[in-house]
Structure formats: structure tokens, C-alpha cells
Structure 1
Amino acid sequence: MGVTFAHKSDRSLPQPRAVLTLIKPITWFPPVWAYLCGVVSSGVPVTAAPVAVLLGMVLAGPVVCGMSQAANDWCDRHVDAINEPDRPIPSGAIPGRWGLWIALAMSLLALALGTVLGPWGFGATVFGVAAAWAYSAEPVRLKRSGVLGPGLVGLCYEGLPWFTGAAVLSAGAPSGPVILVALLYAAGAHGIMTLNDFKALKGDRLTGVRSLPVVLGPERAARVACVVMAVPQVVVVGLLMAWDLPFHAGVIAVMLMAQGAAMRVLMRDPKGRAPWYNGTGVMLYVGGMMVAAFALRGMGG
């Protein structure tokens, strides 16, 4: 690809700070939050299984999500050399093949911890680890697709942790309403992930990643992302009304209207305002997730 890495030093070991940067703690919040939504929606008191709750949070965030970030950075090192040359791998702060070894070691750690959460927790962990590598690594590399890539990430960031939290606390398969609402919020997260792709627009174009911002252009991609985020929430509001939960439905509807106002601001400059929207509209989105989780708890999970 004609990309060279501008190593800042001839290190043989990774810088500890660079390892923390590699696994991106800022990205741990969504899966941890979704896991807690699953815990709440199960209807089982947290005090009934505090170890499972804490372990699940660690597994969903620092371990599985952190591993996925390390795997993605390793597989994207040539793209990052264009978009973010100061990232740990292209900058040389994590030298040689250390990025790969860290991702593989964390994959094994995730599988080991998953066994502690029982068959449902372990099964979900296996799926999450496999999905992380399928997203980033050749020859599968689903991130090349602007449809499949964000869809898989949305599923693993929101739907899978929610399902896992509910299953672990219930010691069995979650109820139909819990699975349905988790899937709806996972589908809406496709739009969040599309907005996240704006920051890699230049490198994606040069390296053949067909993200929606590359394929459709920033304005159309942002419009699609807004629709994809909004429609599942409208369905959730309708379901809660049908389940005779008007208060929770009303709270989510108000949050959705606030997102609509933020979306109008986003559309004035989609590429420039995407990071701003991730700090405003997305917080309203995940807030609605917890409201829905409490609603499901009220109907017995």
C-alpha cells in the first residue's frame, strides 16, 4: 500500500501507556452499560449475584472490548498510518508484533473468564471474540462493508452484552421481550457506528474500506445513520405502549425528540459534528436503553 510507519524509537518492548491507549478505555462504556441493562432487565436483584455482575462488566469492557480494539489496531495498522500516525502501533510505541500478541493474549483471557459465567456467559464470550476477529482480520474483514461491519459492531456493543447480562442473572435464556428490545437497540447502534466511521474517511478511501461515509458521502451517510438510530427507538416506544408501560414509553419518546434536535445540528456539518453528536445524541440513546431495561424489569424480565 505504500505506507511506512514513522517509528519514534527503536523500542523492543511496548510502552505501558501505549498499551492502555491501544485497548481504548473510552470504548468500554457501551458494552458495560449494555451488560448492566441486561442485568436490570432480567428482574433478578443485583445482590443475588454480585460477583457475576462485576465479572461480567470487566469481561464486557476491559477484556473483550479492549481485546477487540487491540485486534482492530493491529489489523488496521496501515490504515492508522494514514489516519492516525500517532496511534501506538504505527508510531512505534508498540513495536514489532506486540500488538498481535496483546490481542491474542486478551482473547485467551476473555475465554477463560467467560467460563466462570456459566454456559450462557461462555457462549456469548466465544461469539464476541470470534466477531472481533471476523470484523478486523483478513480474509473475512467485515469492516470492509459499510453494512455488515457496523451491524456486527452494534450487535456486539449493545445486543450481545445485554443478552449476556440477562442470561447470566437469569441462569437461562432471557425472555422474548428482553431479546427483542436488545436486538432493536443493537440495530439502532448501526447508525452510531456509521457516525464513528467519519473519523477514518481518508484512510478508508485509500485502503478500500467501503464504509457508508465513503460509499454515500458524509451528508447521505449521516442521514441514513439518523434514520437507523431513530426507527428502532420508535418501535421500542410502540412496544412499551402495547405492554401497558406508558411512563417508560413517554420517557424514551422525549429522549428521542431530543435526539431529533441534535440530529438537526449534526446535519449542518456531518463530518465536523459527528464527534459532538457522539457526546450528546448517543448519550440520550443509551439513556433510553436503561429506561427500557427498567420497564422490562417491571414486567418480570
Structure 2
Amino acid sequence: MSVTSDLHSARSTPHPRAVLTLVKPITWFPPVWAYLCGVVASGVSPWSAPGPVLLGMVLAGPVVCGMSQAANDWCDRHVDAINEPDRPIPSGAIPGRWGLWIALAMSALALLLGTALGPWGFGATVFGVAAAWAYSAEPVRLKRSGILGPGLVGLCYEGLPWFTGAAVLSAGAPAAPVVALALLYALGAHGIMTLNDFKALEGDRQTGVRSLPVTLGPARAARVACWTMALPQLAVVALLAGWDWPWHAGAIAALLALQLAAMRVLLRDPKGRAPWYNATGVSLYVGGMMVAAFALRGTGG
């Protein structure tokens, strides 16, 4: 056992820095961005309701997404002991059952804050919290499926916050175009989540998690992920062009073209290049989301 592990094992309470690491602030951006896309797509000025905008951002990112990360790390502590033993729970920086208590406390906080966003916001919060536990925890543990697991995460990272932002700002169900594009971008996010599974390939294989990189192998899984990301965006381009928003459609097509160039680089070394693509191609993907949201402003949510 290392000196660091010895020090961690002697702790009875979590190290504050380890708690911050547990909730992974870097993962908060996608749902916060998607919530803002929904706010923009609603057609309602965010300055007319700054409270719900700010609360929704906090709820989508630090609270619900942070809670989902804590829950996943607690439920994955045996997998992480193989893949990343220095993470807070397997390393002992968060000792005992503190990881579970943090995830449960954040779940309760999410539900409490969700009540302030009205029935649509609260309903979305309940769904998001339930989905986080269904993804990670036994006996459901949808993470075991390379289809259902990434699909659920993509829905909660991109589609659900987009829908929620539009519903909260417009105080009602969003318009059909808003829902359609939110679902398309959520579907495309399945590919992003598949690429994210490359980092856990060995631990997933040993513990029976049937991610696409495990079941298909890195090369085929990367090709499936690329098609999954590209096709929904092509559908978005077609819909925006058909709805007479050609400039927005053209901008998203240009962003997609850049992604396709990045995908060619990814496919040369899927496992090695997956982190690089997540920092480049995914940025282009979420940029297109905001372009689409601005196109939808005229629908009135």
C-alpha cells in the first residue's frame, strides 16, 4: 500500500478536495449548456426570469449532475479500484460509506430545489435523480448495457435539461420543434457517452459491464459512435432547412463537417484518441446545439 493510501485509510471523514473531485465539476458543463439552450429556444428573454435561469443552471450542473457522479462513483467503486484506484472512494480519500451519504444528501437537495422551478422543473428533477440511480445502482444498473446506459446518460445530459429550460421559461410544454431537436441532440449524445466508455474498458470487461467498446471492440464501437453523433445532426440540418432557417442549418452543417474531419483522426486510434475527440469534436457538437436553439427562438417555446 502506498503512503498516500495509508494516509487516506486513516481518515474518518472525507477530504474537502476529494469531495470536489467526487462530484466532477468538469462534467457539469454539458447539462448547464443544454439548459441554457432550452432557455434560448423558449423564446422568452432570460432577463425576464433570472431566478429560474440561475437556479436551473445550478440544479442541472452542480446538484443533479454532481449527485449522479457521486452515485456512479459509489456504485462503481469496485470497477474504479481496477481502472482508476486513485479516485476518491477506492483510494480512501472518501472513507467508509461517505460516498453513499453524499450522493443521497445531494439527491434530497436536488428534489428540494426542483420544487422551486414549478411542476415542469420538479418533474424533470425527479426524472433526473431517478435516472442517475437507475443507471448506476443494483439491481437495475442500466450501465451494464452498451445501448441503454449511454442512451439514458445522453438523454439526461442533453435532452432533459434542454426540455426543462424551455418548459420552465415558457411555463408550459415546449413547442414540438423544441422537443424534436432536444431529442435528436440527446440521441447523438449516445455516441459521446460511448467514447467516454473507452477509459473504463478493462474494468468494464472484468466486472461484466457490456459497454460497446467491450462488446464490439474499440474500432467498431468508435465507428458506431461516430455514426450515432453524425446522423441526428444531419436530421437537425434537414429540419431547420425545411423550417426555413437556412443560415442556421448551414452553420450546423459546417460544424458537422469539422466533426467529420475530427472523426477521421479518431478512427485511426479510437482508444488513444477518444479523450482528444471529447475535447474537440464534442465542443463543435454542443456549439451546434446553441445555433439550433437560436433558430428555435421564434417558435415561442
TM band (smaller chain):
over 0.9
Matched with 1:63 is 63
Contact kept in structure 1, 2:155 and 2:183, CA below 8 Å: yes
CA drift of 1:299 comes to: 3.7
Matched with 1:118 is 118
CA distance in 1, matches of 2:274, 2:218: 10
Correspondence 1:261 to 2:261: yes
Correspondence 1:84 to 2:84: yes
Letter in 1 for 2:13: L
CA distance in 1, matches of 2:7, 2:144: 27
CA distance in 2, matches of 1:208, 1:47: 48
CA drift of 1:92 comes to: 0.2
Contact kept in structure 2, 1:6 and 1:91, CA below 8 Å: no
Contiguous gaps of at least 5 residues in structure 1: none
CA distance in 1, matches of 2:199, 2:6: 21
Letter in 1 for 2:252: I
Letter in 2 for 1:254: A
Aligned with 1:140: secondary structure? coil
Contact kept in structure 1, 2:196 and 2:274, CA below 8 Å: yes
CA distance in 1, matches of 2:246, 2:45: 24
Contact kept in structure 1, 2:175 and 2:299, CA below 8 Å: no
Question: Which runs of structure 2 are paired with 1:25-40 in the superposition (5 Å)?
Answer: 25-40=25-40
CA distance in 2, matches of 1:23, 1:7: 22
CA drift of 1:193 comes to: 0.0
CA drift of 1:6 comes to: 7.7
Question: Which runs of structure 2 are paired with 1:191-210 in the superposition (5 Å)?
Answer: 191-210=191-210
CA drift of 1:137 comes to: 0.1
CA distance in 2, matches of 1:259, 1:7: 45
CA drift of 1:8 comes to: 3.6
Aligned with 2:12: secondary structure? coil
CA drift of 1:298 comes to: 3.1
CA distance in 1, matches of 2:283, 2:265: 15
Cα deviation 1:252-282 (Å, max 9, x = unaligned) = 0000000000000000000000000000000
Matched with 1:138 is 138
Aligned with 2:264: secondary structure? helix
Matched with 1:211 is 211
CA drift of 1:10 comes to: 1.1
Contact kept in structure 1, 2:175 and 2:300, CA below 8 Å: no
CA RMSD of aligned residues (A): 0.9
CA distance in 1, matches of 2:217, 2:144: 16
Aligned residue pairs, count:
297
Contact kept in structure 2, 1:6 and 1:90, CA below 8 Å: no
Cα deviation 1:53-81 (Å, max 9, x = unaligned) = 00000000000000000000000000000
User: Please, what TM-score do these two structures have when normalized by structure 2?
Assistant: 0.98
CA distance in 1, matches of 2:9, 2:97: 15
Matched with 2:18 is 18
Contact kept in structure 1, 2:8 and 2:95, CA below 8 Å: no
CA distance in 1, matches of 2:31, 2:161: 6
Letter in 2 for 1:226: C
Aligned with 2:139: secondary structure? coil
Question: Which runs of structure 2 are paired with 1:92-103 in the superposition (5 Å)?
Answer: 92-103=92-103
User: Please, what TM-score do these two structures have when normalized by structure 1?
Assistant: 0.98
Matched with 1:232 is 232
Cα deviation 1:163-215 (Å, max 9, x = unaligned) = 00000000000000000000000000000000000000000000000000000
CA distance in 1, matches of 2:8, 2:265: 39
CA drift of 1:300 comes to: 3.2
Question: What percent identity do the matched residue pairs reach?
Answer: 84
CA distance in 1, matches of 2:166, 2:130: 21
Question: Which runs of structure 2 are paired with 1:174-189 in the superposition (5 Å)?
Answer: 174-189=174-189
Aligned with 2:9: secondary structure? coil
Contiguous gaps of at least 5 residues in structure 2: none
Matched with 2:165 is 165
CA distance in 2, matches of 1:239, 1:246: 10
CA distance in 1, matches of 2:156, 2:6: 33
CA drift of 1:292 comes to: 0.2
Contact kept in structure 2, 1:7 and 1:90, CA below 8 Å: no
Letter in 2 for 1:266: L
CA distance in 2, matches of 1:6, 1:25: 27
CA distance in 2, matches of 1:35, 1:226: 24
CA drift of 1:7 comes to: 7.3
Matched with 1:300 is 300
Aligned with 1:237: secondary structure? helix
